[in-house]
Amino acid sequence: MPDYKVYYFNVKALGEPLRFLLSYGNLPFDDVRITREEWPALKPTMPMGQMPVLEVDGKKVHQSVAMSRYLANQVGLAGADDWENLMIDTVVDTVNDFRLKIAVVSYEPDDEIKEKKLVTLNNEVIPFYLEKLDDIARDNNGYLANSKLSWADIYFTAILDYLNYMTKSDLVANHPYLQRVVDNVTSIESIRSWIDKRPKTEI
Amino acid sequence: MPDYKVYYFNVKALGEPLRFLLSYGNLPFDDVRITREEWPALKPTMPMGQMPVLEVDGKKVHQSVAMSRYLANQVGLAGADDWENLMIDTVVDTVNDFRLKIAVVSYEPDDEIKEKKLVTLNNEVIPFYLEKLDDIARDNNGYLANSKLSWADIYFTAILDYLNYMTKSDLVANHPYLQRVVDNVTSIESIRSWIDKRPKTEI
């Protein structure tokens, strides 16, 4: 079995899909949490000076979605064929577009600009994406692709806390099919066990 | 052979990787170019109200990277195993991060803010990404992953005109290994033939 290490800050956010996927597959991993003080010295050792980074038998890789897809293949959560993988990839990229649209407002440093952007985000962007994603989850019986569990469900559920944190809301509260996606993922024994034992962090 | 249609505006940009990949595999496709006048009526028929959209035997899909990966699998430009695919996915996602960092400045509507952002983009972001990508191309003998042709090379080369357009520059001019990537792709007969016959557009 390969030796896995996840390098990230002491937050869930973009590192959590990796931790969920490794936990799902019962693959032991070193959950390395870097403090803000340690980061400047470590930054130059990371492929693009960013985290999360996954280390597989000493080889460091980056890009959270690419790493998640790789791990999904190791733990049996990829699609059965190219078309199923396309359905998974499409919804994961859509979830990520959604995340970026939230992040660009959440991290806006100018308060006046942020207020303006928040109006569009809350009145248009968030309802649009949630409705589309909820429709997809409805059409796929409580999953995000191919009417069965895949890494798309894991990815969405794992970053949901981060999306909720940025939007100061409970995004799935009024979206019953997305709630079913979350329930389907969090009721898996290995995921449940990870959630129970992981460090408690706000983000 | 499936019936392929590419729906996009009359520009290269994010549709061009799909057209390159289909051309590479000599897969006939309907190159549907929507005018700005036609778009409002068509928008609601597209999965997320966006293009490019790929239609495969009547089924419409979206997300340019996901569609490119799917087509790469159909034309033999994916990796040989999960690790090779991880290397490809990582560099494609990095190219896309680069594109987004350029686009957010290029599409900034406020001139004063744009001027400020351009300084960081030109002095820090662009040199950083180009150096990293050129190093990758050097380490992979003129390819972006696994020292052999993959859809990462096609993706980069196909959107390069768009990146050059947004930055008003020739991004690979002083990056010899990235220039080799472009040369390796554009010297392929089927790609050459597509470039010669495609509609001439600025973007």
Looking only at the bridges linking them, the beta strands covering A4-9 and A53-56 are: antiparallel
Classify A50 as helix, strand or coil. Answer: coil
Q: Does A63 touch chain B (CB under 8 A)?
A: yes
Q: pLDDT at residue A1 above 90?
A: no
Is B96 within 8 Å of chain A by CB?
no
Distance of alpha carbon B187 from alpha carbon B126, whole angstroms: 26
**Among all chains, which residue has been given the structure tokens 């949901």?**
A160
Which helix (DSSP H) or strand (DSSP E) does residue A153 occupy?
helix A151-167
Q: Which two tokens stand for residue B80?
A: 């040989």
Spatial distance between the Cα atoms of B12 and B161, rounded to a whole number of angstroms: 8
Print the SS3 string covering A107-137.
CCCCHHHHHHHHHHHHHHHHHHHHHHHHHHH
* 3-state DSSP assignment of residue A30: strand
Query: A80 — contact with chain B (CB < 8 Å)?
Result: no
ipTM score = 0.97
Q: How far apart are the first and last CA of chain A?
A: 31
> Looking at CA atoms only, how far is residue A83 from chain B in angstroms?
7
Cα-only R_g, chain A: 17
**B134-160 burial, b if ≥16 CB within 10 A, otherwise e?**
bebbeebebbbbbeebbbbbbbbbbbb
Over 90: is that where the pLDDT of A100 sits? yes
Q: Which residues of B touch A107 (CB under 8 A)?
A: none
Q: Tell if the CB–CB gap between B90 and A132 is shorter than 8 Å.
A: no
Contact A63 B132 (CB under 8 A): no
Minimum CA–CA partner of A92 in chain B: B66
pLDDT at B181: 98
Q: How does pLDDT run across A19-70, given as a tens digit for each residue?
A: 999 999 999 999 999 999 999 999 999 999 999 999 999 999 999 999 999 9
Disruptive mutation site among A50, A53, A86 for chain B (greatest number of B CBs within 10 Å): A86
To the nearest whole angstrom, how far is the Cα of A142 from the nearest Cα of chain B? 19
Query: Which residue matches tokens 């796929």?
Result: A140
Tens digit of pLDDT at every position of chain B (203 positions) = 899 999 999 999 999 999 999 999 999 999 999 999 999 999 999 999 999 999 999 999 999 999 999 999 999 999 999 999 999 999 999 999 999 999 999 999 889 989 999 999 999 999 999 999 999 999 999 999 999 999 999 999 999 999 999 999 999 999 999 999 999 999 999 999 999 999 999 99
Closest Cα to residue B153, out of B21, B4, B64? B21
Superfamily of domain B4-76+190-197: Glutaredoxin (3.40.30.10)
Topology classification of domain B82-187: Glutathione S-transferase Yfyf (Class Pi); Chain A, domain 2 (1.20.1050)
- Domain coordinates in residue numbering, chain A: 4-76+190-197, 82-187
Neighbours of A51 (CB within 10 A): 22
B92 vs B192: CA distance, rounded Å: 22
Cβ separation of B89 and A70 shorter than 8 Å? yes
Q: Which residues from B are below 8 Å from A89, CB to CB?
A: 63, 65-66, 69-70
Rounded distance, CA B195 to CA B143, Å?
20
Helix residue ranges, H only, chain B: 16-24, 39-42, 64-75, 82-106, 111-120, 126-139, 151-167, 176-186, 189-197
